[in-house]
Amino acid sequence: MAWTDLVNDMADVVVDPDAGVGVSITIKPRVLGAMDFATMAESTVASSSTTVNAVRGRKSVTVDPVTRAKIVVATYTVATADLVATPDHDDHLTDGSETYFIRRVEPIASGRMIRIECETRTN
């Protein structure tokens, strides 16, 4: 069996919700709109979201020493074929009731899967 066949089979099994390890996540691109110069903030334009199966990886919690905010960093693995487009930095990822900002997207398994690292901050 060729390497690509093995990687394809692994990618299909790893994110299979019937295998008991997959979770359903929603990825929503963050599209910036007009700039409000009074508040110096950009508005966010509504965009379509994609719901896919993923494997929830490790989760770590730290505290920002300056702001005392709790920082939760989580990782997810997703089959590339399940995505409409590759997520980008600052897109939103929702897992159940938790919403994260995507920090990093990294291809793994010869590009058949991607690892998504995301974070959320709470005071």
Domain range list for the chain: 3-122
Pick the closest to residue 82 from 46, 58, 116, 59 (CA basis).
116
Per-residue confidence (pLDDT) for residue 75, from 0 to 100: 95
Per-residue confidence (pLDDT) for residue 16, from 0 to 100: 59
Q: Which residues share a beta bridge with 17?
A: none
**What's this model's pTM, rounded to 2 decimal places?**
0.77
8/120 Cα distance (integer angstroms) = 32
Per-residue confidence (pLDDT) for residue 37, from 0 to 100: 78
Q: Are 117 and 73 in contact (CB under 8 A)?
A: yes
Q: What is the mean pLDDT of each run of 10 residues along the chain (123 residues)?
A: 68 59 86 75 75 90 93 93 88 93 91 92 84
Q: Residue 84's CB: how many other CB atoms inside 10 A?
A: 10
Q: How many CA atoms lie within 13 A of 30 on its CB side?
A: 14
Q: CATH number of the domain at 3-122, please?
A: 2.40.10
